[in-house]
Amino acid sequence: MESTLKEQIPAGGVEDVYGEDCATEDQCITPWTIAVSSGYNLLRDPRYNKGLAFSERERDAHYLRGLLPPVVSTQELQEKKLMQSIRQYDLPLHKYVAMMELEERNERLFYKLLIDNVEELLPIVYTPTVGEACQKYGSLFKRPQGLYISLKEKGRILEVLKNWPERSIQVIVVTDGERILGLGDLGCQGMGIPVGKLALYTALGGVRPSACLPITIDVGTNNEKLLNDEFYIGLRQNRATGQEYYDFLHEFMSAVKQNYGEKILIQFEDFANHNAFELLAKYRTTHLVFNDDIQGTASVVLAGLIASLKLLGGALCDHTFLFLGAGEAGTGIAELIALEISKKTNTPVEETRRKIWLVDSKGLIVSGRKGTLQAFKKPWAHEHEPVNNLLDAVKAVKPSVLIGTSGVGRTFTKEVVEAMASMNERPLIMALSNPTSQAECTAEEAYTWSEGRAVFASGSPFPSFEYNEKLYFPGQANNCYIFPGFGFGLVMSGTIRVHDDMLLAASEALAAQVTDEHYAKGMIYPPFADIRKISAHIAARVAAKAYELGVATRLPRPADLVKYAESCMYTPNYRSYR
């Protein structure tokens, strides 16, 4: 049965139109475009180009003689050469540009580099470097990647979607560019985020590149600097808001479903708070939607909390949580923690929320402020006298876990960390804001100010740090742990709706990958070097939950979901051509 399923569902979980992955790696495939690609065109087709790795027979069969130097290389040697070249660049942005240029000319080699050197290249193709790339996207822009859907296309979005050459799309990552990382409104230049996220869907999660579609919704920007920038690539107008905005988004969501069907995964990315919650609430019952800023961040942080219990002691319900930041990430994490405690203790979620406190720009969120609070903050307004700043909130609430999602750097001051350390033998401090410059504190500060007792994790990577002759390894609560495997689990099972229980399953699957060896180093996340294996386990747990909830459509269910996930994953090794 398992082999039958594997024949039915090709690698990457999408229809294999050209038989590319139905063949084993030692079988030949045909490099189709609209016609069979050959000669000069083949060398400029990133999906099939192999550069100097074309064999002698392939050079004869596809009219490549004279178009390449005579040497025949290997993919491994190409990888070695390119990594040496990339390492010579001093600036991360230059490395980013080099990687994007490689993706545009040789897709498989790009993913080979990224998969084999994931810990080194992840900060280059995604946070923190992608933030700077988005800020300068207009100047860096050379050729389009993905679809740009602007207000000019109102009433014609379905037609625009049909312009994309691939038909078997399974995952869309879409942004409107209003809240890019911690950098604010970058308008159309936010496209770097969907492009980067989908590269990770392939490299870390195994979704086929041709099944991924990055989209930017351009409704204008309120960033005056961009509007006055001669190289800006988006609409030169202030953002559409209100009914005009929501009507445009509704046309987009309807067109996507009409064009790609019920099982297309739409990941919302870097929408501003006031739109993110409303869009997720509106479409989660009618579409397969996922907001990585709300749900992905929550799931990866919950995984770190579950894993950290081995170091902190006690159960999740024994701890008190204090957040700095009450936006998408903060409230999303808080809600998932409350759901997990509720599930484990059979306590109503309204009661479990009382263990969780949030601080926003006006101070501690308390019941006395309910009249002025946004709707998504109201569940966290507990009975307490007003508290105006974080330090006083720490002293009043006495949390064992401090989580930063504020987007404001250096807000976990020495006094705050020392207060946490004075109340807890092992305080857990999570400075999650991206990029690195916006982190609430550094790993060095957390370890030094807590005299080496803190368990620390951050959103962007920090190097290991030695304190009192002991080496500490900061955890990275990076969404990349969750969303590639989570999305792949939805795709491979044909799931039609996302349920909160799937997010809890993903968190538990990630926490289970932390070993005693990792705990001995103070780590609460497994190393990124194992990310493909981690993603397979997450995908399996998510798919299992989908089957359990009755929302998976790919039947019958595979007997071993982990093996099935591994068998479906895209691999970037070169194929031989007929």
DSSP 114-156: HHHTHHHHHHHHSTTHHHHHHHTHHHH--S--SEEEEGGGTT-
Single out the catalytic residue among 96, 126, 260, 283. Answer: 126
pLDDT at 17: 53
Q: Which residues contact 443 (CB under 8 A, 6 or more apart)?
A: 456, 458, 462, 463, 465, 472, 474
- Under 8 Å between Cβ of 429 and 350: no
pLDDT (mean) for 331-344: 96
pLDDT over threshold 90, residue 486: yes
pLDDT at 140: 85
Share of the chain above pLDDT 70, in %: 95
pLDDT at 38: 83
State yes or no: is 197 an active-site residue.
yes
Nearest to 12 by CA among 159, 202, 161: 202
pLDDT (mean) for 220-230: 95
pLDDT (mean) for 516-531: 92
pLDDT over threshold 80, residue 105: yes
User: Which tokens belong to 192?
Assistant: 């770097």
pLDDT at 1: 45
Instruction: Place 440 in a pLDDT band, splitting at 50, 70 and 90.
Output: very high
Strand partners, 513: none
pLDDT at 20: 59
pLDDT (mean) for 538-547: 98
pLDDT at 436: 83
State yes or no: is 48 an active-site residue.
no
Report the alpha-carbon distance of residue 544 to residue 546 in Å, rounded: 5
Task: Tell me if residue 430 falls in helix, strand or coil.
Answer: strand
pLDDT digits (tens, 9 = 90+) for 15-44: 555 555 666 667 787 777 666 778 999 999
pLDDT digits (tens, 9 = 90+) for 88-102: 999 999 999 999 999
Question: Within its chain, how far is the Cα of 327 from the centroid?
Answer: 18
pLDDT (mean) for 223-246: 96
pLDDT over threshold 80, residue 326: yes
pLDDT (mean) for 557-566: 97
User: Which tokens belong to 197?
Assistant: 């996220």
Nearest to 403 by CA among 412, 391, 414, 413: 412
pLDDT at 21: 61
- Under 8 Å between Cβ of 267 and 197: yes
Instruction: Place 503 in a pLDDT band, splitting at 50, 70 and 90.
Output: very high
pLDDT (mean) for 423-437: 92
Q: ∠ CA 498-175-489 to the nearest 5 degrees?
A: 30
- Under 8 Å between Cβ of 568 and 12: yes
pLDDT (mean) for 490-509: 97
Q: What are the start-end ranges of the H helices in 399-528?
A: 414-423, 443-449, 483-493, 500-511, 516-520
36-51 burial by CB neighbour count: b if 16+ within 10 A, else e?
ebbeebbbebeebbbe
pLDDT at 180: 87
Report the alpha-carbon distance of residue 482 to residue 201 in Å, rounded: 10
Helix (H) or strand (E) holding 283: helix 273-283
Single out the catalytic residue among 50, 197, 263, 377. Answer: 197
pLDDT (mean) for 178-185: 87
Least confident stretch, 3-7, 27-31, 257-261: 3-7
pLDDT at 7: 46
User: Which tokens belong to 126?
Assistant: 């995604």
pLDDT (mean) for 124-128: 88
pLDDT over threshold 80, residue 8: no
pLDDT at 9: 47
pLDDT over threshold 60, residue 543: yes
